Amino acid sequence: MTPFLNQIQSETSTTIMATAKKAAADNGVLHSQTSGNRIITLDEFIIRSEKDFDYATGELTGLLRDIGVAAKIINREVNKAGLVNIVGEADSGENHSGDMQQKLDVYANEKLIECLQNSGECCAIASEENTDILNIPPVGSKKSHYVVMFDPLDGSSNIDVNVSVGTIFAIYRRESDVSGPATKADFLQAGNKQIAAGYVLYGTSTILVYTTGRGVNGFTLDPSIGEFCLSHRNMRIPEHGQTYSVNQGYYSKFDLEMRRYIDHCSDQNYGLRYIGSMVSDIHRILIQGGIFLYPSTRKYPKGKLRLLYECNPLSLLVEQAGGKAINTQLKRILEVEPTELHQRSTIVIGSPGMVDELKAFIERYSALPL
Ligand code: FBP
């Protein structure tokens, strides 16, 4: 065992034990806070948080509400997907990047666009399912300052097999003049300019997790009252975890530094957890700690996942919860300047201790100039 691995291994084992104890303690605190307390709904929480922003005009509140409504409608269809003829491929065939569209993808996309037209707080959208940006007609004399981009149903290839899927969204202030239509430039902003970001996970229960740059909170949908209720206040990602998340099937196609790190994970007896729906994997990591990586492969030399509506929003959430997110050139995801709407990126995201660990492997083994 090289001195490099000895040092990594000794650091790792002590950190794991400390972190596991703390994560358990935190989790305990989290749940007791809500029980017996008055239910706090998403809408109420959004309105209350509005006063944290001096320049708040209620626009962002309206937008987050619209997304909450869309999530409830999509949730209803996802939950009964197995019953009605909404699973399987859509007649619309492939989307602009050759991914086979699922019926629920198309449905979720339509519902999000419809709901974001409601409040008039959104002037344009960009979606994984649409080639170009879509300008939203203004409501009355309202001049909206926000653009929204989203992946309507992430992990959609899992729908037919009843595995959890999710919606991912990011909100930016437009840079173009409000008197005219929004432009692509309004969407090509670095991730650290996000005003808000979040996801909805349609899993064993449906949870909406979001941040406005002041911490991360999760709201579980109570179908009996049709409300998202605060269930995960101020989520903090554990410093270290005991699982790694990667499509190990691509192992032989990964670069040396990734193979070395994956070897290290199994030497450390980390468990391999890979659902194949990024929202689900990241949600688990936010709560239990761990690391998720999607490096470059031969099929996706620049990585598979989309920078604007997958990597950026999830990176803001994880960073806001105390985690880290970088690409395999060791650049912070949120500092990457986008050049295309649907550009892909490599990503390493999760517990700060584990991302730093992988960073050390890239610095040590990468043949590429970093
Ligand atoms: P979609 O947005 O097209 O569903 O693709 C994203 C995704 O499904 C992620 O959720 C997941 O982490 C990844 O692709 C799985 O990719 P692979 O099957 O190559 O491991």
- Three-state SS string over the chain comes to CCHHHHHHHHHHHHHHHHHHHHHHHHHHHHHHHHCCCCCCEHHHHHHHHHCCCCCCCCHHHHHHHHHHHHHHHHHHHHHCCCCCCCCCEEEEEECCCCCEEEHHHHHHHHHHHHHHHHCCCEEEEEECCCCCCEECCCCCCCCCCEEEEEEEEECHHHHHHCCCEEEEEEEEECCCCCCCCCCHHHCCCCHHHCCEEEEEEECCCEEEEEECCCCEEEEEEECCCCEEEEEECCCCCCCCCCEEECCHHHHHHCCHHHHHHHHHHHHCCCEECCCCCHHHHHHHHHHHCCEEEECCCCCCCCCCEEHHHHHHHHHHHHHHCCCEEECCCCCEHHHCCCCCCCCEECEEEECHHHHHHHHHHHHHHCCCCC
For the CA of 249, the closest atom of ligand 1 is 20
- Is the shortest distance between the CB of 155 and ligand 1 below 6 Å? yes
Give me the catalytic one of 59, 66, 105, 227: 105
Give me the catalytic one of 310, 314, 357, 358: 310
- Is the shortest distance between the CB of 167 and ligand 1 below 6 Å? no
Return d(Cα 155, Cα 41) in angstroms, integer: 27
On the 0-12 / 13-18 / 19+ scale of CB atoms within 10 A, 69 is middle
Q: Which protein residue's CA is at the shortest distance from atom 7 of ligand 1?
A: 155
Kindly report the pTM of this predicted structure: 0.89
Give me the catalytic one of 52, 94, 99, 114: 99
Q: Which region, left, alpha or beta, applies to residue 44 given φ > 0 means left and ψ of -120 to 50 means alpha?
A: alpha
For the CA of 277, the closest atom of ligand 1 is 10
Ligand 1, from 94, 282, 291, 294: best to mutate by most atoms within 8 Å of Cβ? 294
* Contact partners, residue 227, CB within 8 Å, separation at least 6: 39, 41, 42, 43, 221
- Is the shortest distance between the CB of 217 and ligand 1 below 6 Å? no
Going by C-alpha positions, the residue among 66, 151, 71 that lies closest to residue 117 is: 66
Give the model's pLDDT for residue 311: 98
Mean pLDDT in each 10-residue stretch from start to end of the chain (370 residues)? 54 52 49 62 89 74 94 93 63 58 84 90 96 92 92 90 95 95 97 97 97 96 96 97 97 94 97 97 98 95 97 98 97 98 98 97 80
Determine whether 132 is an active site residue.
no
Determine whether 310 is an active site residue.
yes
Q: Which protein residue's CA is at the shortest distance from atom 16 of ligand 1?
A: 276
Give me the catalytic one of 59, 66, 151, 227: 151
Determine whether 99 is an active site residue.
yes
Q: Is residue 284 a contact partner of residue 233, using CB atoms and an 8 Å limit? A: no
Determine whether 59 is an active site residue.
no
Calculate the alpha carbon distances from 353 to 88, 105, 114, 335, 367 in Å. Answer: 40, 35, 41, 20, 23
Compute the distance from residue 276 Cα to the ligand 1 centre, in Å: 6
Determine whether 54 is an active site residue.
no
Calculate the alpha carbon distances from 342 to 14, 204, 297 in Å. Answer: 41, 30, 18
- Is the shortest distance between the CB of 304 and ligand 1 below 6 Å? yes
What is the number of alpha carbons within 13 Å of residue 215 lying toward its C-beta?
Answer: 11
Specify which residues 306 forms β-bridges with: 344
